[in-house]
Structure 1
């Protein structure tokens, strides 16, 4: 005899399903500091987790053939294995991330291999209980159809609950490591419940294994956190890069990508190529007059801080993550009172705000690509509607010198909307395979200047590329216009190299 009423089986099925989906969502956050958060990252995670579930369901089906007490005992051990592999995930990721990525021949392969190394086994063991519990529910019930339907529904409802809880509650409030610790403890408790339902007395081995799983999770909690702040969007870190402790300079890292540098005592100095170009091109095109500006993305708020210090004009910033703004205020000496800050997606913010701006700056990135919905013809048409006559749209783009497919596609799309499109970059030949930084300037007319030299932070000369270069680029790449219906920016950027930071 076993103790397995249908209601208890339904609850256990929902709980295990929820826990397994929590792990899947947390996997994305945990991998982000190592490989970024892109379409490729989520594709790899989902594929690996589904592969684990599939293998686990097959194995669970074999276990379900045993008599119920034996099947429940084996399921209890599977859940202890899920607890062990989940509890070890934090330490394992830190141990294997660099070797796995170094040995992989291509970054996409590295992302997939890293996801598999850390998260395949937790998914496999979490997939085992479902067929076992469903088989017991059917065999122990007088009405097998409703019992089977209840188990399937419980699994789906649990998956939905786990996804929502991970994305909206656990990661933001507990962080990735503590969330995995909670899941680990839940798996241990679920294993004990399986033993109890099968009237199996847990032995010393299962007790020690459960304790080891909890200890592994606690070890992960004791390690120094990878992130200073885990928000609903990013793993945020502030890195001190000052040569002189008395003159602080900080670098902001979101996931694994450097997003800005600021010096406490030099608010007007731009420490990166793209901020130097954005700052100088905008001020040059405004010809010294006061101008209004709208920033798509805040990051370290380096340029808004500089323009506020110059009293350049009213500033609006659309930064989707409030935690990024708080970090900029705390660690990058940005005064939130110096700008109007909208914590919303920039496209939505522009659509809902009818104000017009002299300068609109596009500086939003996920991984190394601009979010797909911010590079389409429909979005650029919205930008044009929000610009004053004579205004300019400036956009930061990163691409590999031997590809330039993403750059070409964005230029082709801008040309479909704006009469004039310029490409600015450092006035030096690119090195082979270099990841090159560009700033695009789009408006009704070209800039009145074609080159300038500014600190970045050392004096650096930047120049506009010729129209002949643009025409040849579009012809050689066959670039098409990006639309809301089709905007494969991740594929166009590619992953020929890993981003710095």
Structure 2
């Protein structure tokens, strides 16, 4: 039985509007899902793969159930769709609170971190996607039944879904998250679902409104609870969830840690600009100074983070310092909480590779790579083509230094980066803490690439206690990397897989 047999036909424009709104809201949830998961599991290929797979699975199941509902008389189908949208509002409103509640138990209980991400994502975001997938078949069936040009009507509904998905993606990524935050964005989605649910109930005709109204009030309350809860981020920028943690032993001598998403990305002390608090920062600063062709050397920093190394070099009085930090809010936090003076450096708030590519007249004595997404360097910053660009932007005696994280029992990522750099530079060294690592331990390396070997084979630097760092013997390096190592290119750079995760 069609809607036209029991009530006036629904205008196609209204059905198109409903589908557009629901689709936009559902894709907004998908984008926010990646952001709210980041403080718990990081923002990696694994995170986005899980989010996309779970959301698509939810849509598929919802479309299947919506198709069954579409076989009912139209008023009944619209009323059921209204309830599906109320459930979409409820599950969306509770998603952030649920995530905070289950994240730690799930990740602790699931042995493999990648499976932990997938299961956590499914627990929190499958149901919102499932309920959001219900309306499309119902609205499509009504559009086809109530319009003489059924093919055009069906095409309009499909187009509305695609346009809504595009709009939701753009609005979430470019506007909502940076202006409203994750909780605020999901609250807006909750209200959108409730408005569309009310329209479905209205189109269905007579029926009790008490239960839907109470459920809608409950969804608004749950969204308000999420908004009122303490935010996991001090700042939620277009790129990252940023937190600053006070690590000071004394309030008279402040020390802060910058956490981006779920990992510490730098640490600094107000009164000790020359002291690095992490192994990689200590090696980068010491090796840059050691290998520089002269005291007033110029440097280009890929990634700012807490700006500890640029701050130290500025304090030393080296030459011009240039930093490519994609997120301007990271720079603001470094200036406010990590005692970095933005006037001491030239700062490009853009992708580091593009910043190098579009300024061919600039050359540097030292280029330092310290950019990460989760525990892996972004794929476009580990390829042969990028390393060729780095080589072309170095002075004749220049040096490239790169922070690399890998695991003692794997070293696939380290081996591939070394193999790729050897395609471009005549000398490639690997430096690390001069101590026997624990089996399977996560290790921090700095890879050195240039025209000549480093004069010294080891050095001491505070990190913050005095530590000894050394270059791996070339023969030993060849032995441990034997049989490993891909040459990474712009076409093929599976760095996430190569780093992997501990089992």
User: Corresponding residue for 1:125?
Assistant: 131
Residues of 2 paired with 1:239 and 1:123: CA distance?
35
The alignment yields a C-alpha RMSD, in angstroms, of 0.9
- Say which of 109, 118, 121 aligns to 1:115: 121
What corresponds to 1:72 in structure 2?
78
Q: Which residue of 2 aligns with 1:474?
A: 481
- In the aligned structure 2, how far is the partner of 1:364 from the partner of 1:244? 31
Which residue of the other structure, out of 475, 479, 488, is the alignment partner of 2:494? Answer: 488
- Aligned residue in 2 for 1:210: 216
Contact residue 83 and residue 183 of structure 1 kept, 8 A: yes
Q: TM-score, normalised by structure 2?
A: 0.97
**Which residue of the other structure, out of 364, 376, 382, is the alignment partner of 1:369?**
376
In the alignment, structure 1 residue 248 sits paired with structure 2 residue 254:
yes
2:3 corresponds to: none
Check whether the contact 1:299–1:324 (CA below 8 A) recurs between aligned residues: yes
Q: Matches of 1:416 and 1:377 in 2, distance apart?
A: 7
Q: Is the 8 A contact 1:192 1:202 kept in 2?
A: no
Instruction: State how 1:277-426 maps to structure 2 within 5 Å.
Output: 277-286=283-292, 289-354=295-360, 355-426=362-433
| 1:367-423 alpha-carbon deviations (Å, 9 max, x no partner) | 100000000000000000000011100000000000000000000000110000010
CA displacement 1:13-45 (0-9 Å, x = unmatched): 000000000000000000000000111110000
* 1:242-281 matches, cutoff 5 A: 242-281=248-287
Gaps of 5+ in 2: 1-5
Distance 2:142 2:115 in 1: 40
- CA offsets 1:146-185 (integer angstroms, 9 cap, x no match): 1001000000000010000010000111110000000001
Aligned pairs, how many? 496
Q: Distance in 2 between matches of 1:99 and 1:312?
A: 48
SS of residue paired to 2:491: coil
Other-structure match for 1:223: 229
Shift of 1:67: 0.3
Asked if the contact 1:2/1:68 (under 8 Å) is kept, the reply is: no
Partners of 2:354 and 2:294 lie apart in 1 by 31
CA contact (8 A) 2:324 2:350 kept: yes
Match of 1:190 among 196, 199, 206: 196
SS of equivalent to 2:196: helix
CA distance in 1, matches of 2:265, 2:382: 19
- How far apart are the structure 2 equivalents of 1:476 and 1:298? 34
Residues 86, 194 of structure 2: 8 Å contact kept: yes
Q: Which residue of structure 2 aligns with residue 173 of structure 1?
A: 179
Q: Is the 8 A contact 1:377 1:414 kept in 2?
A: yes
Which moves more between the two structures, 109-118 or 99-108? 99-108
Q: In 2, are the aligned partners of 1:414 and 1:421 still within 8 Å (CA)?
A: yes
Q: Secondary structure of the residue that 2:483 maps to in structure 1?
A: helix
Is 1:440 the counterpart of 2:447 in the alignment?
A: yes
SS at match of 1:476: coil
Q: Distance in 2 between matches of 1:201 and 1:212?
A: 20
Q: Which of 465, 468, 471 is 1:464 aligned to? A: 471
How has the CA–CA distance of structure 1 residues 456 and 16 changed in structure 2, closer, same or farther, with 3 Å as cutoff? same
Please give the secondary structure, in 2, of the residue aligned with 1:320: coil
Aligned-partner SS, 1:267:
coil
| Aligned 8 A contact 2:320 2:345 in 1 | yes
- Deviation digits for residues 167-220 of structure 1 (CA, Å, limit 9, x no counterpart): 000011111000000000111111110000111334321111110011000000
Determine which of 16, 20, 41 is the counterpart of 1:14: 20
**Separation (CA, whole Å) in 1 of partners of 2:240 and 2:232:** 12
CA separation in 1, counterparts of 2:501 and 2:329? 28
- Deviation above 6 Å: which 4+ runs of structure 1? none
Is the CA contact 1:426–1:462 (under 8 Å) kept in the aligned structure 2? yes
Contact 2:107/2:117 (<8 A) preserved = yes
| Contact 1:170–1:179 (8 Å) recurs in 2 | yes
CA distance in 2, matches of 1:101, 1:492: 22
Distance in 1 separating the partners of 2:83 and 2:73: 16
Distance 1:90 1:415, change over 3 A: same
Note if 1:62 corresponds to 2:68.
yes
Aligned partners of 1:195 and 1:202 also within 8 Å: no
What is the distance in 2 between the residues matched to 1:7 and 1:13?
Answer: 10
Question: Structure 1 residue 288: deviation in Å?
Answer: 5.7
Would you say the 8 A contact 2:301–2:367 is kept in 1? yes
**Cα deviation, residue 257, structure 1:** 1.1
Q: Contact conserved, 1:251 with 1:261, CA < 8 A, in 2?
A: yes
Partners of 1:191 and 1:316 in 2: how far apart? Answer: 53
Q: Which residue of 2 aligns with 1:45?
A: 51
Quote how far apart the aligned CAs of 1:454 are. Answer: 1.4
CA contact 1:276–1:455 (8 Å) conserved in 2: yes
1:23 aligns with 2:29: yes
Query: How big is the shift at 1:279?
Result: 0.5
Deviation at 1:287, TM superposition (A): 6.2
